[in-house]
């Protein structure tokens, strides 16, 4: 089998939790090289992977087919550009880039070289989001009128010694979790005509944004749906992850997809019943149709982050369409830029 020889640009949480396990357990990939500047933390779990000490050394590995750029936000553009120039297929962690201009340049470079450029929008394969798609596809709520997506977090202090909190290498909640909830909304409803947003720093001593509320106005696929996206680091009591209201019912879902917690605990994605959610966490479906009332838990579909890497393989080796194509993710960066402009100007910003 012609395996895709893959190199990781870092082995922090992103590499350890979200990438290495899926590369390692997919038989179509070989986890060939991992960048660790001074440590060798990956050695215990992936002893056959070569440890390299710099990004320069990583892209200098001629045998590599694919590079995963999972380094701090403000390095994504430069590292992706250099990996593409070295003739490698590239996966970029979200956020894709910090500006639309950078994103468009990378897409043009990948096109010119005939290389794959994908963005790791893994939360398209969260169990709750897959379930929301299922409910909408079946029309269980009737004509949808409102969609709320909230990513709750609680950390009421500034975590020391992390670039995501200091702002020195990017970070901030809007580019971090905002990239996920915006992408999910665009997947469902298309690009909006305009954005209205409030972005703020709420924690004492904070250096980056830790709160946002974003309204996407008149999305192309469903102009009448009212879309609200929200996240905060000060949600001690969590709000629902999803709230959907239609003319014939509602769906309310608390809690987060179980895959991240399982990965943090060391589980591997080839574990039996991977991605399945405990029934106690299923969302509530409440519908009233034809004088019949239904109010009961609705089974969550299994989450499946592994589907991202399986699609990468099928795209590179078999030419099937890329499911998280960087071309379309440019729209997410465009909306993040518009949200920041809207918050600064306290106005509706047309996209």
Mention every residue, 6+ apart, whose C-beta is less than 8 A from residue 176. 73, 94, 95, 164
3-state secondary structure 306-335: HHHHHHHHHHHHHCCCCCCEHHHHHHHHHH
Q: Position of tokens 């946002």?
A: 212
* Residue 1 or 118, more confident: 118
- Asked if pLDDT for residue 238 goes beyond 70, the answer is yes
Q: Which CATH superfamily is domain 4-120 in?
A: NAD(P)-binding Rossmann-like Domain (3.40.50.720)
Quick: pLDDT tens for 115-140. 999 999 999 999 999 999 999 999 99
Cα distances (Å, whole numbers) of residue 133 to 76, 175, 178, 350: 30, 24, 19, 27
pTM beyond 0.95: the answer is yes
Mean pLDDT, the chain, integer: 97
User: Can you give the pLDDT at residue 164?
Assistant: 87
Tokens of 267: 């589980």
- Asked if pLDDT for residue 96 goes beyond 70, the answer is yes
- The 3-state DSSP class for residue 64 equals coil
| C-alpha dihedral sign at 147, 197, 161, 74 | positive
The residues spanned by each domain of the chain are: 4-120, 123-303+334-350
Tokens of 205: 């001593």
Nearest Cα residue to 199 out of 209, 189, 191, 186: 209
Quick: pLDDT tens for 151-198. 999 999 998 888 888 887 778 999 999 999 999 999 999 999 999 999
- Asked if pLDDT for residue 29 goes beyond 90, the answer is yes
Nearest Cα residue to 10 out of 49, 36, 43, 29: 36
For residue 264, count CB atoms less than 10 angstroms from its CB and return exposed for 0-12, middle for 13-18, buried for 19 or more. exposed
Fold assignment, 123-303+334-350: Dihydrodipicolinate Reductase; domain 2 (3.30.360)
- Asked if pLDDT for residue 1 goes beyond 70, the answer is no
Tokens of 194: 């305009």
User: Can you give the pLDDT at residue 70?
Assistant: 98
Q: Model confidence at 297, in pLDDT bands (50, 70, 90)?
A: very high
Strand partners, 292: 289
Q: What is the pLDDT averaged over residues 36-41? A: 95
């Amino acid at each position: 089998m012609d395996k895709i020889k893959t190199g990781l640009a870092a082995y922090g949480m992103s590499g350890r939790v979200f990438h290495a396990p899926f590369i390692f357990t997919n038989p179509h990939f070989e986890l060939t090289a991992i960048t660790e500047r001074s440590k060798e933390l990956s050695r215990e779990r992936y002893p056959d992977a070569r440890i390299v000490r710099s990004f320069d050394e990583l892209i200098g590995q001629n045998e590599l087919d694919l590079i995963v750029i999972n380094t701090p936000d403000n390095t994504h553009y430069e590292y992706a550009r250099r990996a593409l120039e070295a003739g490698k297929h590239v996966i970029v962690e979200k956020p894709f880039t910090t500006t639309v201009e950078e994103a468009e340049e990378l897409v043009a470079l990948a096109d010119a070289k005939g290389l794959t450029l994908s963005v790791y929008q893994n939360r398209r394969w969260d169990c709750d989001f897959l379930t929301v798609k299922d409910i909408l596809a079946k029309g269980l709520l009737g004509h949808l009128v409102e969609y709320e997506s909230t990513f709750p977090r609680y950390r009421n202090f500034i975590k020391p010694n992390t670039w995501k909190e200091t702002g020195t290498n990017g970070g901030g909640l809007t580019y971090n979790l905002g990239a996920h909830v915006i992408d999910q909304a665009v997947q469902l409803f298309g690009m909006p005509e305009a954005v209205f947003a409030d972005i703020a720093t709420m924690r004492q001593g904070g250096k980056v944004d830790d709160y946002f509320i974003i309204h996407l106005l008149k999305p192309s696929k469903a102009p009448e749906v009212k879309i609200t996206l929200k996240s905060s680091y000060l949600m001690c009591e969590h709000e629902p992850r999803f709230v959907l209201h239609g003319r014939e019912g509602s769906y309310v879902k608390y809690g987060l997809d179980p895959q991240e917690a399982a990965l943090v605990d060391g589980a591997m994605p080839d574990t039996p019943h991977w991605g399945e959610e405990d029934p106690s966490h299923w969302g509530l479906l409440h519908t009233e149709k034809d004088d019949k009332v239904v109010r009961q838990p609705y089974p969550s579909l299994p989450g499946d982050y592994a589907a991202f890497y399986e699609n990468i393989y099928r795209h590179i080796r078999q030419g099937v369409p890329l499911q998280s194509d960087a071309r379309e993710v440019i729209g997410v960066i465009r909306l993040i830029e518009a949200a920041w402009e809207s918050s600064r100007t306290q106005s509706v910003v047309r996209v």
